[in-house]
Amino acid sequence: MSIKTILRASALVSLVGGAAQAEEFTLTMSHYLPPVLGLHVDFLEPFARQIEKATGGKVSVDIQTAGSALGTITKQWDQVADGIADISFGLHGIPRGRFSCTQVIELPFLTDSVEEANEVLWNVYPEFLAEEHADVKVLALMAHDPGVLATTGGKRVENPEDLAGLRIRVPSPYVAAMIEDLGGIPVGMPPGQVYENMQTGALDGVVLPWAGLKEFRITEVTTNAIEIGAYTTPFYFIMNQDKFDSLPADVQEAIDSISGDALVAQFPDWWTAWGAAGPAQITDASGEVISPDAALRQAWIDATASTVTRLEADLAAECSNGAALITQARALSSN
């Protein structure tokens, strides 16, 4: 056998061996969102590719989105906890009742910015929320930008009393309690159905962050919006602990290097960017967007004070060490 032939054979073996190493592990990531939304395009898809790059191609990530067998919103947590998926992104509030401590971030007017909401949520996690997340590896926790109250049909809302009698789609029991106590009629409904119901007059309004209003095209049927910033919603980004533990140390280090603090720090800018075009879409169509000054925001806080007191009492009763959690969350917030 010639030297040239030996070298070719050696090169082929090296290539085959390298390819085998490059595809040594495949991780399945699942979430409940369409692949056109910002959460997928700017966060989840790039995160998967970052894992592949950081591991030198040793790991590949297969993403299953809405409409796939793993894309059901109610199953994201259990899929990872049970090892059906390796990584998932989901909402703490769906299904309800599992994360009574984590819902502290949903308290009306607890935070007043997306930066503060994410900072509070991530900082109370180690001491107060870890127990609720004990059966998985937490890659990050997220909160969206402060909620906006958008209405249609000329139903203008500026002050709390303007809500009386209005049918408002709500995202959570905490927001439902606030709307009801202010004289509104809370309506539970998936965000994908809001556009049609506001267009036909079946709904008078909705509470959502700017990103949701824009991505579900609700800005097109909005005549008035007020940036009350009354709430935010928590999300989880998790990995199966056993799967993580089974990976080589260098792969574990690669995943850790792009999750945790480094990942949480990126969420505020993403949410701001996703919702940035929302206000102009309303005002360009002759609608109105109200940005409350300190006095108006305080009027909303005062009007919902009794609701918040009641919700805090419920949370303290439902959550282990709930009173201390609320105290710490308020100490971290500016309100």
DSSP string, 217-261: TGGGG-SEEE-------EEEEEE-HHHHHHS-HHHHHHHHHTSTH
Give me the number of domains the chain comprises.
Answer: 1
pLDDT for res 22: 52
Q: Does 222 map to a domain? A: yes
> Residue 174 belongs to what domain range?
148-231+275-332
pLDDT for res 287: 97
Tokens 């966060």 correspond to: 43
Distance, CA of 170 to CA of 191 (rounded, Å): 9
Among positive and negative, which fits the CA dihedral 220, 226, 227, 233? Answer: negative
Distance, CA of 230 to CA of 162 (rounded, Å): 15
Distance, CA of 100 to CA of 107 (rounded, Å): 12
pLDDT for res 23: 61
Q: Does 25 map to a domain? A: no
Contact status, residue 73 vs residue 33, Cβ threshold 8 Å: no
DSSP string, 188-199: E--GGGHHHHHH
**Other C-beta atoms lying within 10 Å of the C-beta of residue 51:** 23
Q: What's the CATH number where 180 sits?
A: 3.40.190.170
| Strand intervals (E) in the chain | 25-30, 59-64, 87-91, 137-143, 148-151, 167-170, 185-188, 205-208, 224-226, 234-239, 288-290
Q: Which of 102, 106, 109, 103 is nearest to 125 (CA)?
A: 102
For the chain, 335 residues long, the average pLDDT of each consecutive 10-residue run is 44 42 83 95 98 96 97 97 98 92 96 96 98 97 97 97 98 95 96 96 97 95 96 97 97 97 98 96 97 96 97 95 96 87
Q: Does 220 map to a domain? A: yes
Indicate the pairing of strand 205-208 with strand 148-151.
antiparallel
Helix (H, G, I), strand (E, B) or coil at 138: strand
Q: Does 284 map to a domain? A: yes
Q: Does 176 map to a domain? A: yes
If 0-12 CB within 10 Å is exposed, 13-18 middle and 19+ buried, where does residue 161 land? exposed
Q: Does 132 map to a domain? A: no
Q: Does 130 map to a domain? A: no
Distance, CA of 155 to CA of 224 (rounded, Å): 7
Between 114-124 and 267-275, two packed helices, what is the crossing angle to 10 degrees?
150
Q: Does 286 map to a domain? A: yes
Residue type at 58?
A: K
